[in-house]
Amino acid sequence: MLTLHYSHASPYVRKVLVLLHETGQLDTVTMKQATGTPLEPGSLPVGINPLGKIPTLERADGCALYDSRVICRYLAERAPDGQRLYPDGARLWEVLTLEATAEGILDVAVPMRYEMALRPASQQSPAWLEAQWSKIARSLDALESRWMGHLAGPVCMGQIATGCALGYLDFRHDARQWRDGRPALADWFARFAARPSMKATGPS
């Protein structure tokens, strides 16, 4: 049996959960909730993952797999039809780059959230926050202008990662109104968010 150390709010965990739904593997994983912050590790799995990050996937042999990209690839390989999420051939590199773009959005959006939620307002840096958001805005513009053809194709890990990243922007950065000026991406997300796997895994 596999154990997934998780938190409901984590968009990285959501990627794993959506993949488990899409590949019919939910009943192969035991869920173990972890709580903590960058300031207080709490029950984050520091004993098996030195970075203390979630998701961490603990195998029956005690080996811990992380981060979400490694876990998703591992779980896709275990599913009979999981390979469709990482198609062979030239399309694989696009899938991985799309996933990296979505992951990059999260790697900026999550620390921004911590800056705003954990630091006293007097110690926050508005200039840093704006510079960080500009990375997200550029990435969203790239999705809108260059990636819509790919997003319209068969479901893949890049689409799952993109859906989870946009869901997190709605959850924690709603005030930024990411849909403004990006109608194609907004339409795509409305359709993707209606998938049962996405509806079952929203942040809380």
In the complex, which residues of this chain contact ligand BEZ (CB under 6 A)? Answer: 7, 9-10, 110, 113, 172
Closest approach of Cβ 172 to ligand BEZ, in Å? 5
Q: Which is nearer to ligand BEZ, 110 or 155 (CB)?
A: 110
Burial of 134 (0-12, 13-18, 19+ CB in 10 A): exposed
Q: How many residues does the chain have?
A: 204
* DSSP code at position 44: S
Whether the CB-CB separation of 8 and 61 falls below 8 Å is answered with no
Closest approach of Cβ 6 to ligand BEZ, in Å? 9
| Integer Cα distance of 64 and 58 in angstroms | 4
Query: By C-alpha distance, which of 130, 128, 73, 137 is closest to 105?
Result: 137
Q: Which is nearer to ligand BEZ, 69 or 113 (CB)?
A: 113
Q: Which is nearer to ligand BEZ, 8 or 199 (CB)?
A: 8
Closest approach of Cβ 103 to ligand BEZ, in Å? 12
Q: Which is nearer to ligand BEZ, 41 or 196 (CB)?
A: 41
Closest approach of Cβ 110 to ligand BEZ, in Å? 5
